[in-house]
């Protein structure tokens, strides 16, 4: 039985190439014939935009909905993009997700639970995270088998990595 390897790209320092890495690694994997799902958990929605999806046109069908509506399934939100990468898209609604799920049971495992039904449909699931250690980031890390922390060789970036993996 196929089971996707889930990789979370995380780093508290901003602008270290989390989003660009998810996009480029996913594109390389698709070119190699792998089936890939990219998950955008950043309210900036840079990954979503990079893959040609307008965050303003999601009409409530976003990662935020996945986090906050227990009835919504991942497969109902996934968009097949022109690049051949499937996408769970984000929009600015994610800016309030911390408040929306703060009372939820096992709130750090919501994303893991929602991804479980689709792990057999993919070879790899790549999760982009915001530049902060938030409940959203914790969900992304909890769902993952592997963490990839892109850094640039500068002190603040190393500080950011310490925050991410502490």
Ligand X SMILES: Nc1ncnc2c1ncn2[C@@H]1O[C@H](COP(=O)(O)OP(=O)(O)OP(=O)(O)O)[C@@H](O)[C@H]1O
CB 28 within 8 A of CB 84: no
- Judged by CB under 6 A, which stretch of 11-19, 64-72, 97-105, 115-123 contacts ligand X? 11-19
Q: Which of residues 26-55 bind ligand X (CB under 6 A)?
A: 42, 44, 46
Torsion, Cα 81 28 49 80, to 10 degrees, reads 10
Helix (H) or strand (E) holding 7: strand 5-9
Q: Does 117 bind ligand X (CB under 6 A)?
A: no
Task: State in angstroms the smallest separation of the CB of 71 from ligand X.
Answer: 30
What is the distance between the alpha carbons of residues 55 and 43, in angstroms, rounded to a whole number? 10
Torsion, Cα 93 96 100 103, to 10 degrees, reads 150
Determine which residue in the list 3, 14, 52, 146 makes contact with ligand X, applying CB under 6 A: 14
Q: Does 159 bind ligand X (CB under 6 A)?
A: no
Identify which of residues 17 and 142 has a Cβ nearer to ligand X in the complex. Answer: 17
Residue 37: both structure tokens together:
């799902």
Identify which of residues 52 and 117 has a Cβ nearer to Mg ion in the complex. Answer: 52
Residue 87: both structure tokens together:
């996408």
Q: Does 18 bind Mg ion (CB under 5 A)?
A: yes
Q: Give which of ligand X, Mg ion, none residue 164 binds (C-beta under 5 to 8 Å, depending on kind).
A: none
Q: Which residues bind ligand X (CB under 6 A)?
A: 14-20, 42, 44, 46, 131
């Amino acid at each position: 039985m196929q089971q996707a390897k889930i990789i979370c790209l995380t780093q508290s320092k901003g602008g270290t190439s989390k989003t660009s890495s998810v996009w480029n690694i996913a594109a390389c994997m698709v070119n190699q014939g792998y089936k890939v799902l990219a998950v955008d958990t950043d309210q900036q929605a840079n990954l979503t935009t990079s893959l040609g999806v307008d965050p303003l046109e999601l009409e409530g069908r976003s990662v935020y909905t996945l986090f906050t509506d227990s009835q919504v399934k991942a497969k109902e939100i996934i968009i097949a993009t022109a690049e051949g990468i499937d996408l769970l898209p984000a929009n600015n609604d994610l800016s309030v997700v911390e408040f929306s799920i703060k009372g939820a049971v096992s709130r750090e495992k919501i994303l893991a639970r929602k991804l479980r039904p689709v792990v057999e449909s993919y070879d790899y699931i790549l999760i982009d995270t915001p530049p902060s250690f938030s409940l959203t980031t914790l969900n992304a890390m909890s769902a993952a088998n592997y963490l990839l922390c892109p850094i640039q060789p500068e002190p603040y970036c190393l500080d950011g990595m310490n925050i991410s993996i502490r």
